[in-house]
Structure formats: C-alpha cells, structure tokens
Amino acid sequence: MLPEPETSVAVPSAPALQTNIPQPAASPANPGTSARRPKGKVASLTKAQRDTINGLLHDGATYALVA
C-alpha cells in the first residue's frame, strides 16, 4: 500500500478589528455621577424599594399591580 499524501489547508487569518468609537469622558472628581437629578416617583424611593419595583416590572407585573 502506498502512503497517503499529506495535504494542508491554508486558513486565512482574520484581520484585527480596530474601531474608533469615542468613549464618553467621565468626570475626574466623581466618575459615577451626573449633573442630572432624577425627578420621578420611583427615583425618589430607597434602593431596596426601587430594586423590588424594577424586579416586578421585569417579571411582567402591570403598573396597576405595582401601584
């Protein structure tokens, strides 16, 4: 029997993706804050209450059920 010839398949490499998407600049003094203050009813609640309401809405609860 004759040995099988070796075959190699050349796979082209993908070019490196370079994107020039501008990133928003963060305030050096307070990087996680913004000058805009929330004005809604839910925004004035405590973090635990907001999380509960957001969880209910995410699960499909209606406004009438939440209110």
pLDDT value for 34? 66
Between 4 and 65, whose confidence is greater? 65
* Contact between 62 and 55 (Cβ < 8 Å): no
What DSSP character marks residue 31? Answer: T
Tens digit of pLDDT for each residue in 28-44? 555 566 677 778 888 88
pLDDT value for 36? 75
pTM of the predicted model as reported, rounded to 2 decimal places: 0.42
Tens digit of pLDDT for each residue in 7-66? 666 666 666 666 676 666 655 555 566 677 778 888 889 999 999 999 999 999 998 888
Hey, what are 42's tokens? 């839910």
